[in-house]
């Protein structure tokens, strides 16, 4: 039996840092030192340095169109090294302050430069950590990954609890395990209700009740609910615990000053401008393993949308397309799925 994986989309946690900067009044000034400390403790550069190989020069979130890869990792998993459980690439257009998000299914069959063959994209993190994951996403989507944010799912639980939960229309009755993997602990009924952190996590990760695409849409909807709640003034009183959780469970190559640059996206009069993209495809067996084969037309359309959003007419360095010639005999053994 396949072991259930926690598949959570943690884009909301990144914006928690920005809320503290963008909030009005003296309390925001008090929070600034805390946020700066959180950013310092969480900072970790990529091996490549401060720019993508697909860029001719480093970018600035305050003046350029940029991208951020959000990597969700389940650190409680028994295997080591850990695989990524959630991958979301977000592009930020500095001109109109809009955001596009694309969910990359964890089982997507794609070329992994770190090992030189095709495999599930989730394995890139096990093969070479965030560096290998970033390189793989750049190869797959043909756009630069300027920044990354790596988060453990415990942050998800802590954040939702700190903001007092989220109101969500649960689409089905469900029974799931909790974050400690105790089966049958989480029980939800269909309908609108207030979810705590454990319940929201269970709803985000469940794989029993609908398709991969429906789950991806549900997870991004949950993200928006968390963001809406965290930008409300009542959440400011719990910002201390939110920042503590983030600092303990996050790594990123964003500096404190770069984080501040994102505040304008939060301050739009109509709220955050999101466009959620999906990579269509279907599950299939390849070389004896189960993979998600991304539809080529959907991939091409998504790449075009991301490039347009990043205004890829600006200086951009194309990398050579790798020869996709996987050999099942060469693939490294991974822990049971």
Q: What CATH code is carried by the domain that includes residue 196?
A: 3.40.630.190
* Host domain of residue 79: 11-309
The residue ranges of DSSP E strands in 31-173, in sequence order, are 66-73, 84-93, 98-103, 109-112, 117-120, 147-152, 166-170
CA-angle at 205, arms to 203 and 208, nearest 5°: 85
Residue at 186 is within a domain: yes
Residue 79: pLDDT band (50, 70, 90) is low
Residue at 324 is within a domain: no
pTM passes above 0.75: yes
For residue 131, the SS3 value is: helix
Residue 265: pLDDT band (50, 70, 90) is confident
Higher pLDDT among residues 291 and 34, named by residue? 291
pLDDT of residue 89: 93
* 119 has pLDDT over 90: yes
Average pLDDT, the chain: 80
What the block records as the tokens of 325 is 């010639």
Which of 24-38, 223-237, 299-313 shows the lowest mean pLDDT across its residues?
A: 24-38
The whole-number average pLDDT for the span 289-308 is 96
Residue at 93 is within a domain: yes
Residue at 83 is within a domain: yes
Contact of 267 with 164, CB cutoff 8 Å: no
pLDDT of residue 234: 57
pLDDT of residue 76: 59
Number of domains present in the structure of the chain = 1
Residue at 227 is within a domain: yes
Contact of 151 with 250, CB cutoff 8 Å: yes
Residue at 49 is within a domain: yes
Residue at 332 is within a domain: no
Residue at 321 is within a domain: no
């Amino acid at each position: 039996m396949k072991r259930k994986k926690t598949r959570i989309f943690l884009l909301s946690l990144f914006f928690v840092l920005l809320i503290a900067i963008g909030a009005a009044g003296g309390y925001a000034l008090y929070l600034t030192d805390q946020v700066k400390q959180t950013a310092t403790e969480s900072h970790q550069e990529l091996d490549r340095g401060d720019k993508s190989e697909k860029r001719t020069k480093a970018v600035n979130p305050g003046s350029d169109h940029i991208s951020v890869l959000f990597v969700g990792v389940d650190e409680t998993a028994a295997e080591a090294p850990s695989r990524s459980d959630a991958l979301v690439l977000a592009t930020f257009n500095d001109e109109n302050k809009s955001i596009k998000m694309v969910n990359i299914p964890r089982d997507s069959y794609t070329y992994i430069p770190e090992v030189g063959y095709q495999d599930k994209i989730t394995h890139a993190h096990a093969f070479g950590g965030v560096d290998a994951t970033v390189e793989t996403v750049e190869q797959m989507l043909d756009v630069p990954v300027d920044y990354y944010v790596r988060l453990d799912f415990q942050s998800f639980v802590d954040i939702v609890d700190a903001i007092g939960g989220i109101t969500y229309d649960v689409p089905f009755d469900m029974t799931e395990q909790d974050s400690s993997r105790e089966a049958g602990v989480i029980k939800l009924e269909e309908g609108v209700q207030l979810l705590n952190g454990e319940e929201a996590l269970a709803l985000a990760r469940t794989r029993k009740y609908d398709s991969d695409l429906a789950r991806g849409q549900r997870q991004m909807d949950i993200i928006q609910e968390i963001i809406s709640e965290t930008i409300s003034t009542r959440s400011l009183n719990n910002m201390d615990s939110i920042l503590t959780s983030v600092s303990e469970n996050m790594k990123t190559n964003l500096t404190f000053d770069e984080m501040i640059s994102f505040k304008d996206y939060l301050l739009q009069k109509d709220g955050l401008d999101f466009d959620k993209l999906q990579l269509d495809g279907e599950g299939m067996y390849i070389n004896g393993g189960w993979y998600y084969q991304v539809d080529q037309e959907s991939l091409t359309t998504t790449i075009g949308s991301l490039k347009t959003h990043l205004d890829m007419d600006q200086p951009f360095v194309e990398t050579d397309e790798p020869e996709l010639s996987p050999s099942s005999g060469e693939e490294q053994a991974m822990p049971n799925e």
